[in-house]
């Protein structure tokens, strides 16, 4: 079975872009992240999720949201399980895998990411919902 982030022959350009974004976010390749995202992406993180708010622009997303979120955990990763391609909207269904401390077992937290993609194929941002109860129970 292939990795869900691998591109397949039937993937549209927008689906390939969203998959590429997950790959570069995992690698923390800032140059590639900036090439895939629009200049002012919007991260709309569900209220109730840790640091839930609307973040606008690269500085707020990567200098505000992620550092604050990562302060709550020892490790954090997003693992999409399935994609739904709606053209200029791509939905990723999956789970976060988090550990709260070095010795704690990983906890899986379900999420839905709704990604917007512009006419040039750049990702505009995400609307995120997740099972915050699982996050806080970890």
pLDDT, tens digit, for every residue of 27-83? Answer: 989 999 999 999 999 999 999 999 999 999 999 999 999 999 999 999 999 999 999
Which tens digits make up the pLDDT trace of 90-138? 999 999 999 999 999 999 999 999 999 999 999 999 999 999 888 887 6
Q: Is residue 8 one of the residues assigned to a domain?
A: no
Query: For residues 40 and 7, which has the higher predicted lDDT (pLDDT)?
Result: 40
Q: Is residue 46 one of the residues assigned to a domain?
A: yes
pLDDT score for 138 = 67
What CATH code is carried by the domain that includes residue 30?
Answer: 3.10.450.50
Percent of the chain surpassing pLDDT 70: 98
The H-or-E segment that residue 48 falls in is: none
Instruction: Using the predicted structure, report yes or no on whether residue 4 has a pLDDT greater than 90.
Output: no
Q: Is residue 5 one of the residues assigned to a domain?
A: no
- Distances from the Cα of 110 to the Cα of 25, 34, 56, 68, 95, angstroms: 18, 27, 24, 20, 4
Number of domains in the chain: 1
Looking at every residue in the chain, the average pLDDT score rounds to 93
Instruction: Using the predicted structure, report yes or no on whether residue 5 has a pLDDT greater than 90.
Output: no
Cα of 17 vs its chain's centroid, Å? 13
Domain residues for the domain of 92 are 13-137
Q: Is residue 4 one of the residues assigned to a domain?
A: no
pLDDT score for 10 = 85
Q: Is residue 47 one of the residues assigned to a domain?
A: yes
Query: DSSP code of 64?
Result: I
Q: Is residue 1 one of the residues assigned to a domain?
A: no
Give the residues across from 82 on adjacent strands: 93
pLDDT score for 1 = 36
């Amino acid at each position: 079975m292939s990795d869900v982030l691998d591109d397949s022959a039937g993937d549209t350009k927008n689906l390939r872009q969203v998959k590429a974004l997950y790959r570069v976010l995992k690698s923390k390749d800032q140059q590639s992240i900036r090439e895939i995202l629009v200049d002012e992406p919007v991260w709309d993180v569900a209220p109730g999720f840790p640091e839930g708010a609307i973040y606008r622009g690269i500085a707020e997303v990567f200098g505000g949201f992620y550092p604050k979120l990562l302060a709550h955990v020892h490790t954090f990763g997003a693992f999409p399980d399935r994609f739904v391609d709606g053209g200029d909207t791509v939905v990723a269904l999956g789970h976060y895998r988090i550990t709260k401390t070095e010795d704690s077992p990983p906890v899986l937290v379900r999420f839905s990411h709704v990604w917007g993609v512009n006419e040039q194929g750049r990702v505009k941002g995400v609307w995120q919902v997740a099972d915050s109860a699982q996050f806080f129970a970890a």
